[in-house]
Amino acid sequence: MQKVMYKGLVPEDKTLREIKVTSGAKIMVVGSTINDVLAVNTPKDSVQQDAKAEENKKEPLCRQKERLPTVPLSGMYNKSGGKVRLTFKLEQDQLWIGTKERTEKLPMGSIKNVVSEPIEGHEDYHMMAFQLGPTEASYYWVYWVPTQYVDAIKDTVLGKWQYF
């Protein structure tokens, strides 16, 4: 198998005169043996079966873990039923909890704890509480947090634990 290169790949049905090759022009001919071409074009059956098996075993959302997105997390609700948006300002080390009325800008260091529990019957979502003071009465509850972000939120707010 051979391919002709002249200002890019030349279509196989064109002649050198049709592509206007002039005297002294540089042309490259790339060739390979038929065995090399067949080895590349025919994927192994086991590779195809492995790819199908991976597609079938797609992990459920409740077990997936993703990093925090660069855009605010929205679509959640607070205890009074108002819509809540969580924005992580990592360069300022702040968590912004935004509602329609106001946005609370909380330093990450002021959040004492983060607690989360799955919502029964809706395991793809959690209810999550940020402890803003010394007691449990100071929890700020956020409902319908997507499960795949729970660990990333905890790691971001509390910091990753280092085991020595």
**Residue-wise pLDDT tens digits, 12-37:** 888 888 888 888 888 888 888 888 77
- Please give the DSSP secondary-structure letter assigned to residue 91: T
The single-letter code of the amino acid at 11 is P
Q: What is the pLDDT of residue 38?
A: 76
Pair 114, 157: CB distance under 8 Å: yes
The dihedral sign for the CA sequence 68, 71, 74, 79: positive
Mean pLDDT of the chain: 83
Q: What is the pLDDT of residue 25?
A: 85
The residue extents of the domains of the chain are: 1-43, 64-158
Question: Apex CA 30: angle with CA 25 and CA 33, to 5°?
Answer: 155
CATH 2.30.29.240 holds for 64-158:
yes
| pLDDT higher at 28 or 46 | 28
Instruction: Quick: pLDDT tens for 106-145.
Output: 998 899 999 999 999 998 999 999 999 998 889 999 999 9
Q: What is the pLDDT of residue 86?
A: 94
